[in-house]
């Protein structure tokens, strides 16, 4: 749900709760004024806990829909420690380029040889961390979406 819709929904729920409390209070006041306290559909000693329960329910709904769910992100360095030095440099280069980069660019911008990059990429492909797509005479290396989402 978009934030504006969440705010409108939350305000609507809150307004309905206030309306229910107002109508219930008016009903109880009329019953007390007429002297027929025992004739209420909800006994007076249970009225306040009843309204409190409704308020708790509405408050829980309000909190659930309005406030975003926060997930604790693991730090980049912690995840990168799971890889060897060569793989770490390749993944770091992919992250700098939003998860995708030419294989030739990885070789050119790191201190790794073509053979080192090739072997590390084959290992990462085998573990399904990256995938390699042919693009003319070169390859585009893409970081797995699930892995990329761990960082951003």
Give me the pLDDT at residue 10, please: 73
Q: Model-level pTM greater than 0.85?
A: no
Is the pLDDT confidence value at 1 over 60?
A: no
Give me the pLDDT at residue 33, please: 78
Range with the poorest average pLDDT among 39-53, 79-93, 100-114: 39-53
Is the pLDDT confidence value at 131 over 90?
A: yes
Q: Domains of the chain: which residue ranges?
A: 3-66, 76-151
Q: What CATH number belongs to 76-151?
A: 1.10.10.10
Is the pLDDT confidence value at 138 over 60?
A: yes
Rounded average pLDDT over 108-134: 93
- Output the 3-class SS for the chain: CCHHHHHHHHHHHHHHHHHHHHHHHHHHHHHHHHCCHHHCCCCHHHHHHHHHHHHHHHHHHHHHHHCCCCCCCCCHHHHHCCCCHHHHHHHHHHHHCCCEEEHHHHHHHCCCCHHHHHHHHHHHHHCCCEEEEEECCEEEEEECHHHHHHHC
Give me the pLDDT at residue 37, please: 61
């Amino acid at each position: 749900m978009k934030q504006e819709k969440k705010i409108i929904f939350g305000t609507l729920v809150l307004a309905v709760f206030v309306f229910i409390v107002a109508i219930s209070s008016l009903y109880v006041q009329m019953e007390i004024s007429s002297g027929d306290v025992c004739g209420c559909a909800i006994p007076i000693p249970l009225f306040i806990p009843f309204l409190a329960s409704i308020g708790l329910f509405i408050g829980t709904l309000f909190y659930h829909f309005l406030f975003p769910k926060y997930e604790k992100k693991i730090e980049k360095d912690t995840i990168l420690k799971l890889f060897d030095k060569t793989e770490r440099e390749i993944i770091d280069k992919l992250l700098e380029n939003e998860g995708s980069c030419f294989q030739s660019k990885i070789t050119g911008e790191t201190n790794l040889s073509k053979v080192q990059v090739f072997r590390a990429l084959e290992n990462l492909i085998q573990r399904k961390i990256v995938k390699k797509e042919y693009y003319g005479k070169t390859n585009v290396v893409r970081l797995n979406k699930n892995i990329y989402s761990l960082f951003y």
